[in-house]
Amino acid sequence: MRRFDPWEYRIVVWLLSPLAFLYRWIQTFRNWLYDKEIWRSVRVSVPVISVGNITVGGTGKTPLVEVLARFFAQEGWKVGILTRGYGRRSRGMVVVSDGKTVIAKPRITGDEPLILAYHLLPHRIPVLVGRDRVATAKKAIEIYNCNLLILDDGFQYRRLQRNVDIVSLRMASPFGNRKLLPAGPLREPLDSLERGHVLVLTGLEKTNPIDFAGAGHFLAKMDVLKGYYKPIEWVLFSDKSTYPLELFSNRSVFAFAGIGNPHSFQKVLSQLELKLMDFWIYPDHHFYSKRELQKIAKYAEQKSAVAVVTTEKDAVRFTSPWLGELPLYYLKIQLEIVGEEERLRRVLLPLLKTLKPSSTKQNDTQM
């Protein structure tokens, strides 16, 4: 993926600034309509926790949803996951997992819901995909008897009321250039952070200091947690057998990734002390064709790599089997909250008890 030179970047940002101004006005007006209850949100009969962000790109939302789902399941809650399923090739509502069996395929569900469904099967947590999260919420309650719902990527989805808003931000450069789409990474103005209750900062353990310039006062009332990405093990794609992290120490590998923040994966690989021959970047949620996989395999062989490596999220998006002569592995990574059990219990459980969504009715003309 080509990177802009600094002067090119400044020109592109300048050209896109009028569109960013229009986008800011639209988002500000939309939020005002909800704040004034001109557009009314829907309240469901059980608590709702939203996990989201205000920037595009990977901030660890879905791994955080998994951490929260495991925690509340262990606390005795009947948890349900509601997600939109970005990148899927289907419409309408899809049950990814009923808590007993993973039912759908990646093209129908999207990559992240499928990974959540597999990881949370031991906890019998249903995962539902649908653009209309009000409808999926009602189904999770009525069909699967859920008494707590976790909304994945829900900060901007204000049509469904929530008891707790959790905002996930990258530790390194959390707001990018602080400009709104399409001139920057912000999905909403920074003052939208005032809606949040809990801030979770995600990154690698050796991440540079956080720069909250211009947004610190918006975050003052929020409880702050830190979460670090921790590599767990290598998984061989062909048979799902697992291997220790030292498998490729001082050995040459070729890597590729199509995720929201591919450079974070590249940094994880560098910490594993392997020799990275090359690293190809694809768009987030990209489904790999047979031709693309063949190209990757051929190039890795030319580079004299001993293996090809990628992320778990990428490994579920192959449209054909891996036929390369070199073995393909994906790295299993988990998000770990510092002081996880104690801090989640201290921060979140009181919020669920004290924060009650206001009683308002649905308006079907909402965005």
CATH assignment of the domain containing 276 = 3.40.50
Beta strands 223-236 and 198-203, pairing class? parallel
The CATH code of the domain that includes 194 is 3.40.50.300
Instruction: Decide the pairing of beta strands 94-97 and 127-129.
Output: antiparallel
Q: How far apart are CA 235 and CA 323, in angstroms?
A: 17
Residue 261, CA distances (Å) to 35, 61, 75, 267, 281 in order: 32, 12, 32, 11, 10
Residues 6+ apart with CB under 8 A from 141: 44, 45, 46, 80, 147, 149
Taking a C-beta distance cutoff of 8 angstroms, is the pair 200, 337 a contact?
A: yes
Per-residue pLDDT at 361 = 37
The answer to the question of residue 7 being in a domain is no
Same domain as 282, residue 144: no
Q: Which two tokens stand for residue 84?
A: 């939109």
Q: Same domain for 269 and 290?
A: yes
165 and 240 in a common domain: no
Lowest mean pLDDT among 38-52, 115-129, 172-186: 172-186
Residue at 362 is within a domain: no
What type of residue sits at position 281? I
Amino acid 18: pLDDT: 95
Q: Over pLDDT 70: what percentage of the chain?
A: 92
Q: Is residue 243 part of a domain?
A: yes
Q: Tens of pLDDT along 343-364?
A: 888 888 888 876 544 333 344 4
**How many Å separate Cα 93 from the centre of its chain?**
20
Residue 80 lies in a domain: yes
- Mean pLDDT for the chain? 90
Q: Is 48 helix (H, G, I), strand (E, B) or coil?
A: strand
Identity of the highest mean pLDDT range in 5-9, 191-195, 238-242:
238-242
- My answer on whether 102 and 224 are in the same domain is yes
pLDDT at residue 276 above 50? yes
Task: Point out which residues pair with 330 in neighbouring strands.
Answer: 235, 310
15 is a domain residue: no
| Tokens at 310, concatenated | 């990628």
Pair (217, 257) in one structural domain = no
Query: What pLDDT does 345 receive?
Result: 86
* Shared-domain flag, residues 244 and 220: no
2 part of a folded domain: no
Q: 265 near 332, Cβ under 8 Å?
A: no
CB 341 within 8 A of CB 68: no
**For the purposes of burial, counting CB atoms within 10 Å of the CB of 29, is it exposed (0-12), middle (13-18) or buried (19 or more)?**
exposed
Over residues 68-81, mean pLDDT: 95
Kindly state whether residue 154 falls inside one of the protein's structural domains.
yes
What is the largest distance, in Å, between two alpha-carbon atoms of the chain?
Answer: 63
Same domain? 258 vs 313: yes
Looking at the structure, tell me whether residues 111 and 58 fall in a common domain. Answer: yes
Domain limits at 117? 48-228+336-354
Rounded CA gap, 325 and 362, in Å?
56
Same domain assignment for residues 181 and 236: no
Do 174 and 58 lie in one domain? The reply is yes
Q: Does residue 81 lie in a domain region?
A: yes
Check: CB of residue 163 under 8 Å from CB of residue 68: no
pLDDT at residue number 216: 67
| pTM for the full predicted model | 0.91
Residue 270 and residue 149 in one domain: no
Stronger pLDDT, 139 or 323, i.e. the higher one: 139
Domain count, the chain: 2
Indicate whether 266 and 319 sit together in one domain.
yes
The residue-averaged pLDDT of 206-233 equals 78
Which pLDDT score, from 0 to 100, does residue 209 have? 58
Instruction: Return the structure tokens found at 348.
Output: 């979140």
Q: Residue 242: beta bridge partners?
A: 235
